[in-house]
């Protein structure tokens, strides 16, 4: 049976506070380790064909991909210690799935909005989306390959699955995962500097559930501070609707939350609660530079239709205004969602 994603929130995010390749290696089949080494060694390289069939690397001995986009090696070929996971994903069937090239972030990493498998076409008993959700829940990286402009592929490297959006039916992949990017903490959902000594001790000795509760508490505290910054910058008004009722105003991240480094005024917009939900679910976006609203076509005949092309309210200080680079990255993800729904 296919997995049905039903969550309280419109975006389901990983709660693994400090995802690491070393930690993941303890949860996956031993064969995955050779595959991880291959993706690390070939990060950024171009290959003529996907690594399965005749393209399977001799030193690996088993396929690192399959013809369809999401690859999870069969339980007949290797033993999973617990849950079943995805080993790799690739974008090649662009007529069916509108996956795009990686979107570069300011810190040198990239993100990809990767389409969930469409089970409405054909019949499958394989729960590839569910196995990719297992990667999200447990902090397991996947190898990522993207179609090149020619007939080849680019090995983007390893990426963590950071979130799933049930509205756009897509997973957010963040990479490349390698010793340098891990050392820089680019995949951490909180910084150790944000923790008290007792909280650090919890991370050293506590269970993973205790670690996740600590992370949630820290995130809530930081979110409160982030909201206060945006309320001050936007004069206690929703930037899209102008609503000034404080109880319904929320601090929206332009780029997804990844610790205090993303809790900056230029990575936030003050939005009314319902507008925030539409923004996070890729049903509404804000164009960079023009700072005007664009709606998903699903909202064209809704009560939100008058918001189309509306220029948002901006803080007076240039340093407090939203980053056009970050808005551009978010807008690209919105465009992928539009293609997914077409």
DSSP per residue over 185-211, as a string?
A: TTT-SS-GGGS-HHHHHHHHHS-HHHH
Query: What pLDDT, on the 0 to 100 scale, is given for residue 6?
Result: 32
Q: Of the residues 129, 163, 188, which one is the last residue of a structural domain?
A: 188
Query: What pLDDT, on the 0 to 100 scale, is given for residue 180?
Result: 95
- 82 assigned to some structural domain: yes
**Claim to verify: residue 135 and residue 32 sit in the same structural domain:** yes
Q: Of the residues 128, 154, 188, which one is the last residue of a structural domain?
A: 188
Query: What pLDDT, on the 0 to 100 scale, is given for residue 188?
Result: 81
Q: Of the residues 156, 188, 220, which one is the last residue of a structural domain?
A: 188
- Taking alpha carbons only, the member of 2, 43, 40 closest to residue 21 is 40
Provide the domain limits for residue 122: 12-188
Query: What pLDDT, on the 0 to 100 scale, is given for residue 100?
Result: 63
**Claim to verify: residue 214 and residue 318 sit in the same structural domain:** yes
Query: What pLDDT, on the 0 to 100 scale, is given for residue 197?
Result: 59
Query: What pLDDT, on the 0 to 100 scale, is given for residue 219?
Result: 57
- 169 assigned to some structural domain: yes
- 195 assigned to some structural domain: no
Burial of 298 (0-12, 13-18, 19+ CB in 10 A): middle
Query: What pLDDT, on the 0 to 100 scale, is given for residue 199?
Result: 56
Please give the span between the terminal C-alpha atoms of the chain, in angstroms, as a whole number.
Answer: 26
Give every residue of the chain whose pLDDT is below 70, as ranges.
1-11, 15, 92-100, 119-125, 189-222, 259-260, 340-342
**Claim to verify: residue 212 and residue 328 sit in the same structural domain:** yes
Query: What pLDDT, on the 0 to 100 scale, is given for residue 156?
Result: 96
**Claim to verify: residue 53 and residue 183 sit in the same structural domain:** yes
How many domains does the structure of the chain reveal? Answer: 2
- 7 assigned to some structural domain: no
**Claim to verify: residue 230 and residue 137 sit in the same structural domain:** no
**Claim to verify: residue 215 and residue 329 sit in the same structural domain:** yes
- 199 assigned to some structural domain: no
């Amino acid at each position: 049976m296919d997995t049905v994603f039903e969550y309280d929130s419109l975006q389901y995010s990983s709660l693994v506070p400090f995802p690491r390749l070393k930690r993941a290696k303890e949860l996956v089949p031993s064969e995955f380790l050779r595959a991880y080494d291959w993706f690390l060694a070939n990060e950024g390289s171009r290959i003529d064909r996907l690594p399965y069939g005749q393209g399977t690397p001799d030193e690996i001995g088993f396929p690192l991909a399959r013809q369809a986009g999401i690859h999870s090696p069969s339980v007949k070929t290797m033993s999973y210690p617990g849950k079943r996971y995805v080993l790799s994903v690739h974008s090649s069937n662009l007529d069916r799935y509108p996956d795009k090239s990686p979107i570069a972030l300011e810190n040198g990493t990239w993100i990809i909005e990767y389409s969930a498998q469409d089970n409405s076409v054909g019949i499958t008993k394989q729960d590839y989306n569910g196995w990719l959700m297992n990667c999200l829940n447990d902090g397991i990286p996947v190898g990522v390959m993207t179609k090149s402009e020619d007939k080849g592929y680019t090995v983007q490297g390893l990426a963590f699955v950071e979130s799933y959006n049930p509205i756009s039916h897509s997973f957010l992949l963040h990479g490349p995962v390698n010793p340098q990017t891990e050392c820089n903490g680019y995949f951490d959902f909180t910084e150790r500097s944000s923790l008290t000594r007792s909280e650090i001790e919890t991370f050293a000795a506590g269970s993973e559930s205790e670690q996740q509760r600590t992370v949630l508490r820290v995130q809530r505290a930081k979110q409160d501070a982030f909201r206060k910054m945006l309320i001050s910058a936007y004069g206690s008004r929703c930037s899209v609707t102008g609503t000034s009722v404080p109880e319904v105003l929320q601090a929206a991240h332009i780029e997804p939350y990844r610790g205090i480094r993303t809790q900056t005024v230029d990575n936030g917009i003050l939005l009314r609660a319902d507008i925030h939900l539409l923004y996070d679910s890729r049903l509404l976006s804000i164009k960079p530079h023009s700072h005007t609203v664009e709606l998903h076509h699903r909202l064209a005949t809704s009560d939100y239709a008058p918001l189309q092309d509306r220029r948002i309210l901006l803080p007076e200080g240039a340093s407090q205004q939203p980053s056009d680079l970050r808005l551009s990255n978010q807008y690209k993800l919105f465009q992928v969602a539009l293609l997914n729904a077409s």
